[in-house]
Structure 1
Amino acid sequence: MPKKQLTIEEKMNNALVPEEEWPYKLPDNWCWVRLGELFQVNPKNNVENDDIEAAFIPMALIDSDFSGEYSYEIKSWKEAKKGHTQFANKDVAFAKISPCFENGKAFIANNLPNGIGAGTTELVVLRNIKIVPQYTFYLLSTDRFVNGGRHTYSGVVGQQRISMDYVKSYAFPLPPLPEQQRIVSRIESLFAKLDEAKEKIQNVLDGAEKRKAAILHQAFTGKLTAKWRKENGVSDDSWEKRDFKGVAEIKSNLVDPISYQDFPHIAPDNIEKKTGELLDYNTVAEDKVKSGKHRFYSGQILYSKIRPYLSKVVMVDFDGLCSADMYPIEARDGVSAKYLWYYMLSDIFLNQASTAGSRTVLPKINQKELNKIKINITVISEQKEIVRLLDKFLNKEKSICKSCEVSLAAIEAMKKAILAKAFRGELGTNNPAEKSSKELLREIISI
């Protein structure tokens, strides 16, 4: 017997979420609808000519963070569609595999060649021409949808996917069509202002490295303390160039780690590039260190001799062991260790280190090459003044960058709050006099 056709009312009852399952209360003229009843999920395109051009979108060409940006390759429809997920203009697509799902790889298909495309099988595509695509896209970017999907992951690590039952049964807050359009306009207006602020803050952050490089250059070419020298009767001739070995001593001191199990263990990976910041580290025992390591002491400088990481240099205030890929360095008499550390973070030093010797293709800088690097040095009193000024400037920069990071986090939190309000009908855009979205649902189901 042929399958009994459901009436419109039966379809409506299947589509509407029962009140006891509502995630929260919506405005009276909205309704909760099962996503799978509202959209065609992973639809097929009806294309008669297999030879026409179409877009092909692998996962690598979809941007993250719900930016909605993507690019595509052009293939024949026959080639593009074979074994792949299909979509068309105005469809909304999102990744279903981890970590692409939680990383926000999603887009609204638009301006595709001949209006059609296909792509990675790890996409879920939603189609409903009667719902504003941007409304659906913003809904998919909410914590409620993403976190809920993550909790349904199944499969082996690296190949985990969200449950399609979760997608199809997801409670979708459906407002009337005009309200969808107003919500999208309101979100875009608010986001535009936040993005403008975010860009300005990000520019400050992005300029931090240039500002630091500039102040270090001024410090070690004598410009930073020119006024100080005049005020303190120090001649410009106090500056000179010395070989590295004339200002510091490389303390190669390999020991057996077995006797130092509780000591801190520092490797190049524990040092942030170009900042001199020490990151989290473990003890010798925790890192299961077995081969020979250098013994270092408080007040020394640890310097990565691996060529891609020559900007990893840190000054320590504790004893421990460091990787054999590092040099423990001690400042000689008349040289401030912190002055030397700052110098080793400067481009003046790094440019020499990166090209030191004739064997630049080798992975490490050897002691002979390091010892030949030129150091701009002045009297100890000026060194201390330079260190004082650099401490002041860089601490201020660190504070500025921290404030920028806090502000960026606040902007992201505001965006999430805006989205949460949007899908509760709390953006101040809803018109309670508009007819219920159930009429829109009825129209969709009747197609």
Structure 2
Amino acid sequence: MDKYSFFYKIPDNWCWTKLGKITSIIGGGTPSSKINEYYDNGDIAWITPSDLSNYNNMYISKGKKMITKLGLMKSSAKLLPKGTVCLSSRAPIGYVVIAKNELSTNQGFKSFLPSKVFKSEYLYWYLKSIKHILEAKASGTTFLELSAKKAGEVEIPLPPISEQQRIVNRIESLFAKLDRAKELIENTLAQFEQNKMAILHKAFTGELTAKWRKENNIDLSSWKKCELKEVFKVVKDKYNPQTENQIVNYIGLENIETSKGIISKNNSSEVKSIKTKFKKDDVLYGKLRPYLNKHDVVNFDGICSTDILVFRFNDINTAKYINYYFNLPMFIQYAVENSSGINLPRVSEKTISKYKISLPTIEEQQEIINILDKLLAKYNKIKNLEQQLEKIELLKKAILAKAFRGELGTNNPDEESAENLLKEILAEK
């Protein structure tokens, strides 16, 4: 068989083939939920794609529900043997697990029965690496689904069995190291968030500047209770692209990142609808899905999405102070709980304006900002670890790409060709 048939060059003792030639592909089914006898006291494991949401193990023994033998008999569900590779074929496409024991699935799966020519773990990792190909082969109007026929047409590079095992071992060894690094980074980031919240709490309760107040003979009673509308005004100046010719800076919600603030900007050349104007030192606050906590003090003039509220303050220190305050969990919770809309919740300017705070003097606000800037600057370096998490995921993809090209350094060219084994199996059929 031509080593260049499908995607890329593979070692000489490997061969390209299609899944439909090396395994049986089985669909699933759902017993009627109206008949209790199909589920009550069931002892047959039955899985659905929802069972695999946030499920990270390679093997699965059961899902949330069990079905009875009668339920299996009265539906199109099939009893699959241990070692079957189960692929979710719709809603969504691409979840993969290996049956740890006999089990069945609903119709949201295409399952690949064990075969003499492949290791289940090898097929597991291969399917994980080609999610984009599986999706491209799917079709449907209401939702995309990968049919058994299309699944059978999926090409796979097939090494000798012993090489498949070495590839699996190598992938799992490398992934274990990367997962350990990922865990350490995530723990560090979680500790950072915890420490940051503790610092912010101290800042807005007066604890952070207790020494400063003592040195300046100022009492905590200098803090005044007020509503936010007393310290800012909501800017409603509009930009109409049909009447204004000047190209200006544009900020959309996509330009503001959770906990980081403004990370990029565009210009108004592509703007087609009415937007809100803002000026340098205004606070931009994303009112859509307030749990995303998108806001920042802007350092240039421009326009922004109408899903962003623009707050203008009399003093830059107050703007920075309130921008920090927006990070408090209790404020985020307030904004979320007082939002309207189910699928696209938004918090109104009126709701934000009514929020009550204790506000220190301008001088103490400035001191708090100075302290927070210095303390959180250190943590911002730690936040760069998030980029390392992205690199880990890219490394995993690179490892899988090399694995199925024979580039992990595990292949033994002297081993009998996988093509010979494949011919023997096909001859038996």
Shorter-chain TM-score tier? 0.7 to 0.9
Aligned-pair distance for 1:135? Answer: 1.4
Per the alignment, residue 76 of structure 1 pairs with 68
Per the alignment, residue 174 of structure 1 pairs with 159
Per the alignment, residue 36 of structure 1 pairs with 20
Aligned-pair distance for 1:105? Answer: 0.8
% of aligned pairs identical? Answer: 32
Q: Which secondary structure does the structure 2 equivalent of 1:74 belong to?
A: strand
Does the CA contact (< 8 Å) of 1:56 and 1:75 recur in 2?
A: yes
Per the alignment, residue 341 of structure 1 pairs with 323
Q: Aligned partners of 2:15 and 2:352: how far apart in 1? A: 73
How does 1:39-438 map onto structure 2 within 5 Å? Answer: 39-42=23-26, 53-63=43-53, 68=58, 71-80=63-72, 82-84=75-77, 87-97=80-90, 100-101=92-93, 104-111=94-101, 115-128=102-115, 131-142=118-129, 145-156=130-141, 158-159=143-144, 161=146, 164-165=149-150, 167-168=152-153, 170-176=155-161, 178-226=162-210, 233-237=215-219, 239-244=222-227, 248-251=231-234, 253=236, 272=257, 275-277=260-262, 283=268, 286=271, 288-289=273-274, 296-303=278-285, 311-319=293-301, 328-332=310-314, 336-347=318-329, 349-350=331-332, 367=350, 370-371=353-354, 373-380=356-363, 382-402=364-384, 404-432=385-413, 434-438=415-419
From the superposition, tell whether residues 405 and 268 of structure 1 become closer, same or farther in structure 2 (CA, over 3 Å): closer
Aligned-pair distance for 1:117? Answer: 0.9
Does the CA contact (< 8 Å) of 1:272 and 1:279 recur in 2?
A: no
Per the alignment, residue 35 of structure 2 pairs with none
From the superposition, tell whether residues 369 and 86 of structure 1 become closer, same or farther in structure 2 (CA, over 3 Å): same
Aligned residues: 407
**TM-score of the aligned structures, taking structure 1 as reference length:** 0.72
Q: Which secondary structure does the structure 2 equivalent of 1:342 belong to?
A: helix
Q: Aligned partners of 2:270 and 2:415: how far apart in 1? A: 69
Which range moved further: 193-202 or 237-246? 237-246
Which range moved further: 180-189 or 261-270? 261-270
Q: Aligned partners of 1:350 and 1:161: how far apart in 2? A: 41
Question: Given residue 419 of structure 1, which amino acid in structure 2 is its aligned partner?
Answer: L
Runs (5+) with no aligned partner, structure 1:
1-16, 357-361
Computing the radius of gyration from Cα coordinates, the structure with the larger value is 1
Question: Given residue 105 of structure 2, which amino acid in structure 1 is its aligned partner?
Answer: A
Aligned-pair distance for 1:243? Answer: 1.2
Per the alignment, residue 341 of structure 2 pairs with none
RMSD: 4.4
Q: Aligned partners of 1:304 and 1:430: how far apart in 2? A: 53
Q: Aligned partners of 2:358 and 2:258: how far apart in 1? A: 20
From the superposition, tell whether residues 375 and 331 of structure 1 become closer, same or farther in structure 2 (CA, over 3 Å): farther
Aligned-pair distance for 1:90? Answer: 0.8
Does the CA contact (< 8 Å) of 2:284 and 2:297 recur in 1?
A: yes
Aligned-pair distance for 1:199? Answer: 1.0
Aligned-pair distance for 1:191? Answer: 1.4
Runs (5+) with no aligned partner, structure 2:
30-37, 339-344
Does the CA contact (< 8 Å) of 1:87 and 1:125 recur in 2?
A: no
